[in-house]
A and B are shown apart, each in its own frame.
Chain A
Amino acid sequence: MRRTGQLRKLQSSLLTRYLLIIIVALLFIPVVLPLSLAGYDMYNSWAGEKPPEEYALYSNIAGLEEMWHKEALELHGQIPEAISSRLQKLGRSYPLARMFWVDGQGKTRLTLTPDDPRMREELSTGMIPPQWSAAEAIAFMKESAKQDPLAIVAFVGDEMDAGEGFMVMQIPAVVTKAYQFKSVGSRYVIVLLVFFALFVAVSWLFFIGIRKRLLRLQTAMSFTGGAGIPQPIASGRADEIGRLEEAFNSMVAELSASRQREMEEEGLRKRLVSDLSHDLRTPLTVIRSHLHVLGKEALSQRGQESLQLMDVRIDSLSGLIENLLSYNLLSSGRMTLKLEQKDVLRVLRESAAAWYPLWEKEGFEAAVDLEAEPLYWVIDESWFRRILDNLFQNIVRHAHDGQYVGVRADVREGKRVIVISDHGKGMDSASESKGAGLGLSIVDLLLKRMELEWRMDSSPQGTSIVIGQAPERNLNKI
Chain B
Amino acid sequence: MSVTLLYVEDDREIGSAVSADLREREYAVRWLESGEGAVEAAAGCQLAVLDVMLPGLDGFTVGQRLKRAYPGLPILMLSARASIDDKLQGLEFADDYLTKPFHPDELAARIEVLLRRTGAAEPSPLVLKHLIVYEGNNVIQEAATGREILLTGKQFQIFTYLLRHLGQILTKEQIYEAVWGEAYMEGDKTLMVHIRYLREKLELDPAAPEIIETVRGIGYRVRA
Q: Which residues of A contact B (CB under 8 A)?
A: 270, 273-275, 277-282, 284-290, 292-293, 311, 314, 318, 321-322, 325-326, 329, 346, 349-350, 352-354, 356-357, 366-371, 373-374, 382-383, 386, 407
Contacts and interface: CB of A to CB of B under 8 A. Distances in A.
Nearest to B20: A293
10 contacts: A280-B80, A282-B80, A282-B100, A285-B101, A349-B171, A356-B169, A366-B216, A370-B217, A373-B186, A383-B84
B174 A350 contact: yes
Contacts of B193: none
Interface in B83-125: 83-88, 99-105
B174 A374 contact: no
Contact of B21 (A273, A279, A289, A382): A289
A277 B81 contact: yes
Contacts of A352: 217-218
B14 interface: yes
A314 B53 CA distance: 21
Contact of B17 (A280, A286, A326, A371): A286
Nearest to A326: B83
A357 B167 contact: yes
Contacts of A353: 168-171, 215, 218-219
A371 B80 contact: no
Interface string B58-94: 0000000000000000000000111111111000000
Nearest to A356: B169
Interface residues of B, number: 37
B23 to A, nearest CB: 13
Question: For A279, A289, A374, A386, which residue has the most chain B Cβ atoms within 10 angstroms?
Answer: A289
Contacts of A371: 217
B173 interface: yes
A24 B103 CA distance: 89
Which DSSP category, helix, strand, loop or mixed, fits chain B's interface? mixed
Contacts of B21: 289, 292-293
A366 B215 CA distance: 10
Contact of B217 (A270, A321, A326, A369): A369
A287 B101 contact: yes
Nearest to A373: B186
A309 B216 CA distance: 32
Nearest to A277: B81
A354 B82 CA distance: 18
B222 interface: no
Contacts of B99: 281, 318
Contact of A311 (B13, B103, B219): B103
Contacts of B100: 281-282, 284-285, 318
B186 A277 contact: no
B14 A349 contact: no
Contacts of A284: 100-101
Nearest to A274: B81
Given A289-B18, A353-B215, A346 B80 contact: no
B148 interface: no
A382 B87 contact: yes
B102 A367 contact: no
Which DSSP category, helix, strand, loop or mixed, fits chain A's interface? helix
Interface string B4-33: 000000010110011011000000000000
A68 B53 CA distance: 121
Q: Rank and list the top 7 A-B pairs by shortest CB-CB distance, nearest first.
A: A368-B217, A289-B17, A281-B80, A274-B81, A353-B169, A284-B101, A285-B101
A325 B83 contact: yes
A382 B84 contact: yes
Nearest to B167: A357
Given A349-B219, A350-B171, A353-B218, A277 B11 contact: no
Nearest to B104: A292
Contact of B101 (A273, A318, A370): A318
Contacts of A314: 101
Contacts of B167: 357
Contacts of B81: 274-275, 277-278
A278 B80 contact: yes
Contacts of A287: 101
Contact of A274 (B11, B83, B102, B171): B83
A349 B172 CA distance: 9
Interface string B106-147: 000000000000000000000000000000000000000000
B161 to A, nearest CB: 14
A221 B80 CA distance: 44
Contacts of A277: 80-83
A371 B102 CA distance: 35
Given A349-B218, A356-B218, A366-B216, 10 more contacts: A270-B83, A277-B80, A285-B102, A292-B21, A293-B20, A293-B21, A353-B171, A357-B169, A368-B215, A383-B84
Contact of A325 (B82, B170, B217): B82
Nearest to A329: B83
A289 B85 contact: no
A293 B101 contact: no
A289 B18 CA distance: 7
A346 to B, nearest CB: 6
Contacts of A275: 81
Given A329-B83, A353-B171, A368 B53 contact: no
Contacts of A383: 84
A275 B53 CA distance: 9
